Chains A and B, each alone.
Chain A
Amino acid sequence: EIVLTQSPGTLSLSPGERATLSCGASQSVSSSYLAWYQQKPGQAPRLLLYGASSRATGIPDRFSGSGSGTDFTLTISRLEPEDFAVYYCQQYGSSPFTFGPGTKVDIK
């Protein structure tokens, strides 16, 4: 099983700032099959990125992803008020398709 870790656990930033979230894998994620999701309280998750760097439909270009192998990054270039949420990475290269524990981005 591929274990995903995310850092930091909480990121306290102000609107307009840049957010950098990390996702690490215990073994290489095949073909960069790594996705990022956003979840707000009381809501279902929303797909942001897949294939490590491809934006999902309707996702603004302030969200970007990079990485390969065991190290991946989600960057939000300029935080908007609606971006304060919890972010999860998930690998879907090999079953079980595990999630990371999440990074909470809150308002400083």
Chain B
Amino acid sequence: QVQLVESGGGVVQPGGSLRLSCAVSGITFSSYGMHWVRQAPGKGLDWVAFIRYDGSNKYYADSVKGRFTISRDNSKNTLYLQMNSLRAEDTAVYYCAKVGVTDGWGYWGQGTLVTVSS
């Protein structure tokens, strides 16, 4: 059974930092690229970042470039998103995902809510 479990969300003041984690089980984590996707309350999906299976390449949305860092620890089967200089517009549910566009097997976590507010 495949599981992706996000943690680390919460309430943070503007300008603050949070680190999200995504623990993955049931798949060979080290074989797959992974994404972070967010969804503001009542809004659509917003792609945030992607990291290749071995961490060799990372890609970011323009809105988070320079503020967010995606990383992974294949020995711990865990994906991370370090979020700095948070803004109110970063408020969203953050999902980690193996979206499945290379093999048709897509898996998403349940999401973790990040609220940026003073």
Contact = CB atoms under 8 A, between A and B. Distances in A.
Interface string A31-73: 0010101010000111100110011110000000000000000
Interface in B32-68: 35, 37, 44-47, 50, 59-62
B83 interface: no
Given A45-B108, A57-B105, A97-B59, A39 B47 contact: no
Contacts of A56: 100, 104-106
A53 B37 CA distance: 23
Interface-centre pick from B46, B60, B99, B102 (highest chain A CB count, 10 A): B99
Interface stretch (A10-18, A21-29, A74-82, A87-95): A87-95
B104 A96 contact: no
Given A33-B101, A95-B50, A99-B44, A47 B60 contact: no
Contact of A96 (B62, B106, B109): B62
25 contacts: A1-B62, A33-B101, A35-B101, A37-B45, A44-B97, A44-B108, A45-B45, A45-B97, A45-B108, A47-B106, A50-B100, A50-B102, A50-B104, A54-B104, A56-B100, A56-B105, A57-B100, A57-B104, A96-B59, A96-B61, A97-B47, A97-B50, A97-B59, A99-B47, A100-B44
Interface of B: 35, 37, 44-47, 50, 59-62, 95, 97, 99-102, 104-106, 108-111
